[in-house]
Chain A
C-alpha cells in the first residue's frame, strides 16, 4: 500500500513516507534510482548503473490483499518490481509517461527509447536517437509537450532537442552546446536548467532565452513550482525565483539533484542531495531539517491531491 498522501523518494531504492514520519522502501530493490513516474495504478522507476527500468503495480494493492487471503504465491509475484527494460536499455537517466503500453519513454546515455510488449510479456525497446551526435544522445531529462503528446523535449548533454512524431524526427533548438539537466513546463512556458549557463525559458520549446541564475552559479538539476514561485535544485542547493530572472539561493549547500513542493502546503518542500541526503523545509526555505537515512537522492515526487 502506498498512500496517496505520501512522498516518493528515489534513492537507493524507492521510498514512501511523510515528513516527520517513517520512510519505507517499496519492495526490496536497492538500485540507484534516477527518475520516477507515479500513476494511479503503478510506479515506474528508472535506475542507473546498468539497472534499467522497473514497474511497481499499485492499482489493486495486491500484495496486501494476497497477504490477507494467505495466498503466498500471489504475494511473491505482487511484492516485487517487474522489469521493463530489455538488453538494450541499460542506464536509465530520465523517464516520462506517454500513451499506450508500457506507457513510458526512457532516456539513457544512448538516447531515448520506446517499448512494446512481446509475446512473453517482456518489453522490447526501440531507440530513436542513433542518428544524433554523441552528446545529443546522452539524455538527462524528458518532457512531453503539454499540447502535443507525440512531441517530446529532450534535455541532453548537447542541449535541448525536440523529438517529434514520437521520436521519428528530430529538431535542434536554440539552446545547444551545453548539458541540460532539467526540463519543466510552468506558467505556460518551457523551462530548462543547464550545466553552465543557468536557467532558460521558451514559449515554444525551440527558441530559448536566458532568465538568469543565482549568484553562486553551477548546474541546475531540477525546476519545479512552489505556488507561484519557481524553485530550482542547483549545484549549490535550492534556489527560489519568481520567473523574472532574480534567483536567491537558500538552505544547506549541497548538490541538490531533486526538489519538490507539497501540492497544497506550498511552503513545504523536500530537497534531495547527491550526496547529502534528504532535507525539508516547511516555511518556504528559511529553515531546513535533515531527514536521516538517505545519502544520495536523485528523484522526488510529491503527494497526490484529490
Chain B
C-alpha cells in the first residue's frame, strides 16, 4: 500500500472516530478536540474547558490545580486550534499555565505529557517572564526540550522505558503526535517523528487481532485476562484498521487528539501489523526497570521474545530484575493469546509477590508504611488471587510456541503459591499431567503444571471506572499451584500442523517434561512437538538444542525486515519496496539523560 492510500484510510477512520465522539455531549479536554473539529458552539467549548480546569488548591490563595492529564491537553488545544479555540477558553488555559499549581507526576508517561504541554504553552506565550512555576517561558521551553530530546535519545539507544503498555503507550504516542505537528523547533519535530516510528513499530510488531501480544511493562487495572486491554485498541484501529469499527474499543478520549492530527505513520507498519501469513519471532530490548533501593544490584535490560503465529501469539520476557524487593506492580512478563471472546483467549500465570519491600523498591514512601499507603488506594495489589505484577522469583525461557516458567519462592513467602488463569469455554482434557485444549480458532494448547494444582475459579465483577466498563473484570478458571517450587510448561501449536486435536493430545501426552533435576538441580527440560530440546536452569543457562540462548546479544528489535542493533540509535524497517530508515544522531560519547521516573 502506498503512503497516500494509507493516509486516506487513516483519515477515514479518524473521521469515523471524531464523528462518533462529537456525537456525545460534554467530555473533557481531550474530547473537546472532536467538538472543535465538528463545529461545537463556542459557549459549549468554553464551558468544557472551564469545567475541566476547575480544580483549585484549597483555601485562601487557591490557584488552578492540575497534573499531566490537564497540562498536555491544554498544550494540545492551544497548538492544534489556535484559530478555532474561543478567546475565553484560551484565557482559561493561559491562567492555568501561568498561575496554576501543576504536578509533574512520577511516571515516564506523566513526565512526557507534562513536558509536552509545558513546552507548547511556553511556545504559545514566549515572552512570559513568570509562568506557573516562577520561571520564564524560555526557561520552561528549554527544560522541556532537554527532557523530551533526552528521552528520545535514551529510547533509541536503550529501548523504551515504559515499554509496550496497552494503557500507557497511548500516553506516549499522543503527546508526541501533537509535537510532530506543532513543535516550533524543526530538530525536535524530526526527532519526534522518528521516535513515533519506533512507537508504532512497537505496536505493529506484536499486534495480534486487536490485542498486544507478549510482555508489557505495565498492564494495570487487572485487565491482563482481557483479550483487548487498555486504551491502545483505539490507536491500533486508527493506524492499523484491521477490524470493523466498534466504538467500545476504538474510541477513547485519550485518542481523540491524534484523530484530529495531521501526523500519519509510515504505511509499512500497518502492513507489518496485519501480516500473519507466516509464523515469526519478534525480539526486543527494553530499558531496565527503575529499582532504586532495597536491592543489592542494578536492574538489567529487559529482553522480550514473542512468537507471532497465524492462530496464536506467545510472548515472554527476561526481566533483568535485581532480586527480592523488586517486583514492579503492573508488569506482565508473559502470556498466550489467540482470537476469541473476552476472557476466553488468554492464558497466563504469576506469583502474586507481596513483600513489604515491594513498593519501597521504586516508590519513595517510608518502607514502614508504604505498603498500607499504596494498598489503601489499590487494594487489589495485595490480593492473593492477583494475576499480574512481577515476582523476583519468576524465571522463564521460550522457543517459538513453547515456554517454560519456573518459580523458586522462599518457603516463608507470604504467597507460597502460583496463580494460573485459564479460559472457561475450552473443553479441557487432562492426560498424563498435561492439560490440553482446542482454542477453536486454529490453535491447540497444552500446559503442564509443575507441581500439584487445585482447579478453582476466579470471578470479579467489573467496576464502572473511567478507563473502561466491563461487566466481568475477571472471569475464568484459576489453577492454583500450592508449591514454592512450581511452574508451568506450555506449548501452543497450529491446528493445521496436527492431524486432529485427539492426535495432538496423544502426541503431546506421550512425552513428559524431564523434571528429574527440579528443584534439586534447578533444571527442567522438555522436547517440543516440533522436536526441539529445551533445557532451562533456573538461574543459569537457557538452551535450545544444546545451544545457550545469548540474551545479551538481543538487538533493539529483531523481526522480519527489521535491522536495529543495540546502542547505535540507528535502525531500519523494510517491507517490499518500502523502507523506513531512522538515525537519531546520538553521540555515543555523551551521557544519556538518566531515567529518573518509574514506569
Contact of B295 with A90 in the complex, beta carbons under 8 Å: no
Contacts of B132 in A (CB 8 A): 80
B84 at the interface (CB under 8 A from A): no
A158 to B, closest residue via Cβ: B293
Decide if B364 touches A91 in the complex (CB within 8 Å): yes
Report how far A88 CA is from B293 CA in the complex, Å: 18
Residue of B115, B297, B366 contacting most chain A CB atoms (<10 Å):
B366
| Contact string against B for A residues 15-32, beta-carbon threshold 8 Å, 1 for contact and 0 otherwise | 000000000110111110
Contact B368 A51 (CB under 8 A): no
Min C-beta distance of B110 to chain A, whole Å: 7
Interface residues of A in 248-293 (CB under 8 A from B): 255, 257, 274-275
Chain B 99-121: CB-based contact to A (< 8 A → 1; otherwise 0): 10101111000110001000000
Q: Which residue from chain B places its CB closest to the CB of A137 in the assembled complex?
A: B292
Take A122-B143, A135-B294 as given contacts and tell me if A80 and B104 are in contact as well, using a CB distance cutoff of 8 Å: no
Partner of A274, one of B103, B296, B366: B366
Chain A residues 24 to 55 lying within 8 A of chain B, measured CB to CB, are 24-25, 27-31, 48-52
Q: Are A30 and B101 in contact (CB under 8 A)?
A: yes
Question: Which chain A positions have C-beta within 8 A of B139?
Answer: 118, 120-122
Nearest A-chain residue to B142, judged by Cβ:
A120
Q: How far is the CA of A235 from the CA of B110 in the complex (A)?
A: 32
Q: B150 on the interface (CB 8 Å rule)?
A: yes
Does A246 make an interface contact (CB < 8 A)?
A: no
A61 at interface by CB-CB < 8 Å: no
Are A28 and B63 within 8 A (Cβ)? yes
Q: Which residue of A lies closest to B99 (CB)?
A: A76
**CA of A257 to CA of B367, assembled, Å:** 12
Q: Whole-angstrom distance from the CB of A27 to the nearest CB of chain B? A: 7
**B150–A82 touching, CB < 8 Å:** no
Per the bound structure, the CA–CA distance linking A250 and B469 in Å amounts to 50
Cβ contacts under 8 Å, A137 to chain B: 292
Given contacts A48-B364, A82-B134, A83-B134, contact A134 B292 (CB under 8 A): yes
Residue tally, chain B, CB below 8 Å to A: 51
Give Cα distance in the complex from A179 to B65, angstroms: 35
Assess whether B457 is interfacial by the CB under 8 Å rule.
no
Asked whether, in the complex, the Cβ of A255 is within 8 Å of the Cβ of B134, the reply is: no
Instruction: Check B142–A110 contact: CB distance below 8 A.
Output: no
B34 to chain A, nearest CB (A): 31
The answer on a CB contact under 8 Å between B364 and A109 is: yes
Give the one of B103, B129, B130, B364 with max A CB within 10 A: B364
Q: A-facing mask of B355-386, CB < 8 A → 1, else 0?
A: 00000000011111100000000000000000
A87–B295 CB distance below 8 A: no
A247 to B297 alpha-carbon distance, docked (Å): 36
- Find out whether the CB atom of B104 lies under 8 angstroms from the CB atom of A50: yes
Question: Chain A's nearest CB lies how many Å from the CB of B591?
Answer: 9
Tell me, rounded to whole Å, the shortest Cβ–Cβ distance linking A213 to chain B: 15
Q: Which residues of B contact A50 (CB under 8 A)?
A: 103-106, 110-111, 597
Given contacts A50-B110, A76-B99, contact A25 B364 (CB under 8 A): no
Residues of B within 8 A of A48 (CB): 364-365
B579 contacts the other chain (CB 8 A): no
Contact residues in B for A88 (Cβ distance below 8 Å): 593-594, 596
User: Are A83 and B133 in contact, CB atoms less than 8 angstroms apart?
Assistant: yes
Residues on A facing B (Cβ under 8 Å): 13, 24-25, 27-31, 48-52, 76-77, 79-83, 86-91, 93, 108-110, 118, 120-122, 127, 130, 133-135, 137-138, 157, 179, 195, 218-219, 221, 235, 255, 257, 274-275
List 14 A-B residue pairs with CB atoms under 8 Å apart, sorted by A's residue number: A27-B61, A50-B103, A83-B135, A86-B143, A87-B115, A87-B150, A120-B138, A121-B139, A134-B296, A138-B292, A179-B367, A219-B368, A221-B366, A275-B369
